[in-house]
Amino acid sequence: MSSLRSFLIVSLIAVSYLIFLRYQEHTAPKPPVVNPSAVAAAPGSVTPAPTPTLDGEVPTTSTALAPVAPTDMPSTSAVAESGQLLKARTDLLEITIDTLGGDVVSAKLLRYPVAPKKPKEPVEILKRTGDALYLAQSGFLNSATQPAPNHRTLWALDSERGGNLISTLQADQNELRIPLKWTDPSGLTVRKIYTLKRGSYEIAMSHEIENLSAAPVQLSEYRQLQRTPAPSSDHAFTSSERYSYVGAAVYSPEDKFQKIKFENMLDEPLNRSISGGWMAMMQHYFISAWIPPVDQANSYSSEEQSKDGPLRYLVRQVAPPITVAAGATSVLLSRLFVGPKLQDVLPEVAPGLEYTVDYGIFTLISKPLFYVMNLIHGALGNWGVAIVLITLLVKAAFFKLSEAQYKSSAKMRKLQPKIKALQEKHGEDRAKLNESMMELWKKEKVNPLGGCLPILVQIPIFMGLYWVLLESVEMRQAPFIFWIQDLSAKDPYFVLPVLNGLAMFATSKLTPMPVGMDPIQAKVMMYMPVMMSVMFAFFPAGLVLYWTVNSSLSLLQQWVITRRIDAMDSRDLAKI
C-alpha cells in the first residue's frame, strides 16, 4: 500500500467520524418550544415577576434521602405575585436576583461576548427570558407547624445590611454583598446573603437563621438548578456547538464524575447521598454548579418537570436538618459557580470540577495536548501559534516513524518499473504475481505496509486536538492572524482548507498511483484532496491549521527523502 493511499484512507476515516458528529447535530430532536409567557421577565430594576405555578418544584420529603421535617407546598394564595430585581456587577459577572424566591435569575459573563462581532453583548448563562429558563434556586423545607422561606417566597432587600437595588464593584472594592431578609411572625428571621468577589466566578451564599421564638426550630436547606432545554435562540450555543454534552452532572469522592442526561431523568432519576461533592448543569464551554460544604452529607436527586409549565429539568441537593435553639443563630454556607470551564481555575474551585471539560474517549490524549499548548500560549499569547508549535513537536516526536514511512514510499516508487514488469510477465496469474512481488519486496527490503503506522499514530492525535478545540473555552473566539479571528469556528474565507488541499495534491504527485490500480479507485484517489478540502472547509480553523501545517511538513520531508532515494542505485537502496 502506498503512503498516499494509506494517508488518504485513514484520513477519510477520521473525517468521516467528524462528519458523523455533524450529522448527529442536525438529526437530533429539536428542543420543545417553551411558552415565553411562563418564564418571561420584564427588563427593569423593579418589575412584576411571573407568578410561579410550577407545582412540585419545591422539594418534599419524598425527594430527599436524609430525614427532614414534613413539608407542604405553600398555597397559591400565599405566593407573592411580584418581586424586585436586584442587580450586581463585578469585573467578571453581572447577576440579577429576584426577591420573589431570592433566586439568581440571570448571570452574564462580561468577558465572553456571544460573538466576535458583538463584543458588548455578553453570554448569559442563568436566565429567565424569552423561551429560556435556567435558574439557581435555594430555600428551606417547611412544615405545617414551622413555615420557612423557599424559592417561591417573597424576600425583602435587607437595607439594614446595606442592600441596594443596583450594586457595582468599585475600584476600591474587592467584594459585593446582596443581603435579603425574611421574617416570620413567630420570631424566626432568615437572611440570605450573596457575596461576589473581584476576579471570581464564584458566588458565596449564606443563610443566617436567627430564632427569636420561644421554641427550637428544625430546618433543612436545599439548593437546586432548574432549566428548560436549550432553545435554538440561545447565544451560548452556536451551530457548531450543539452536539456537545448539555445536561446535568454530579461528583462524589467515591464514584468521581457522573453525567446525568436530561432524557434519563424521568426513568432513571438520581437519588443518592453524597459528602464532599457537587452538582452542575453543563453546556458547551460553560457550567453552573452548587458546591456545599465539604463535610456536609447532602441528598442528591434529579427530576423532569412539566406540570403547569414548560418542560424543565432539575438537579437538587437537600442538606440534613439542623435544629436552632430558641434565642440562637445558625449560619449555613454554600457556593454557586457560574462561569466558563477554565481548566486552570476549575480544580481550585472544587475537587473534580475540571472533569466538566469533557474530552470523551480522547481525554488521555487531549489533556496533555492542551497542557503543552497552554504552556506555549502562556509564553507567546497566541493560540494559533501554539497549534503550529504543537504540530512541530508532534512531527518531531514521530520523525523516525515518518522517515520510515517516506523511505518505504520512495522505495515503492523506485520499484514501480520492476513491479510493472512482473505484472506483464505473470498476466492474470494473481497467485504467481503476489508470490513474485513478495520475493521482490524481501530482496529489496521494502515493507509495503510501512507507510501505515505513522498515519495510524497521528489519527488519535488529530482527534484529540479536535476535542481540545471543541471543548476548551480558552479556544473560544481565540484569534490567530489576519482573517482568522476565531480558531474554534471555520475559516471564513476557506484559505486553510485550500492550502491543505494543495499540500495533499503535491504529495500525490510525489507518490504515483500503484501500477495496476483499478481505474475507479484511481479516480477516487485522484480527487480525494479536493474532497478532503471541501470537508475541512466546515471544521474549526484551528483543526485545519494543524492539519495544513502537518501536511506541509510531511510534504517537505517526503520531497527531501524522495530526492535522496531517487539518486541511489539498487545496491545503496537495499542498504537503507
- DSSP 8-state secondary structure symbol assigned to residue 309: S
The pLDDT of residue 567: 63
The single-letter code of the amino acid at 198 is R
Question: How many Cα neighbours within 13 Å face the side chain of 41?
Answer: 29
Q: What angle separates helix 541-566 from helix 452-471, to the nearest 10 degrees?
A: 160
pLDDT (tens digit, 0 to 9) for every residue of the chain, 576 residues total? Answer: 444 444 444 555 555 545 544 444 444 444 443 343 333 333 333 333 333 334 456 665 444 443 333 333 333 333 344 589 999 999 999 999 999 999 999 999 999 999 888 889 999 999 988 778 999 999 999 776 778 999 999 999 998 888 788 899 999 999 999 999 999 998 999 999 999 999 999 999 999 999 999 899 999 999 999 999 876 555 554 444 455 789 999 999 999 999 999 999 988 999 999 999 999 999 989 999 999 999 999 999 999 988 767 889 999 999 999 999 999 999 999 999 999 999 999 999 999 999 999 888 889 999 999 999 999 999 999 999 999 999 899 888 877 776 666 666 666 766 777 777 877 777 777 787 777 777 777 776 666 655 566 667 778 887 888 888 888 999 899 999 889 999 988 889 999 999 988 888 887 777 655 555 556 666 666 777 777 788 888 888 988 998 899 889 888 877 877 777 666 555 555 555
Phi, psi of 254 (to 5 degrees): -80, -50
The pLDDT of residue 221: 96
- DSSP 8-state secondary structure symbol assigned to residue 482: T
Measured between its terminal Cα atoms, the distance across the chain in Å is 19
Contacts by 17-26, CB closer than 8 A, 24 or more apart: 17/463, 18/466, 18/535, 18/539, 19/535, 21/243, 22/243, 22/538, 24/243, 25/239, 25/242, 25/243
| 208 neighbors 191 (Cβ within 8 angstroms) | yes
3-state secondary structure of 116: coil
| 414 neighbors 2 (Cβ within 8 angstroms) | no
Query: Domain limits of the chain?
Result: 45-73+82-234+243-358, 366-575
Q: Which residues of 87-105 are buried (b: 16+ CB within 10 A; e: fewer)?
A: bbbbebbbbbbbbbbbbbb
Task: Please give the helix or strand (H or E) that residue 383 lies within, else none.
Answer: helix 383-397
Instruction: Report CA 458 to chain centroid distance, whole Å.
Output: 24
Contact residues for 155 (Cβ-Cβ < 8 A; gap 6+): 83, 99, 100, 101, 102, 149, 180, 181, 182, 192
The pLDDT of residue 320: 94
Closest CA to 60 of 144, 122, 128, 123: 144
3-state secondary structure of 97: strand
The pLDDT of residue 398: 78
Closest CA to 405 of 458, 460, 445, 454: 454
The pLDDT of residue 503: 87
The pLDDT of residue 563: 74
Q: Could you give the CA distance from residue 51 to residue 45 in angstroms, rounded to a whole number?
A: 17
Phi, psi of 527 (to 5 degrees): -90, 0
The pLDDT of residue 528: 74
Q: Which fold has domain 45-73+82-234+243-358?
A: Beta-galactosidase; Chain A, domain 5 (2.70.98)
The pLDDT of residue 233: 52
SS3 content of the chain, % helix, strand, coil (to 5): 40, 25, 35
Number of H helices, E strands in the chain: 13, 22
* The C-alpha cell that represents 275 in the structure block: 459528602
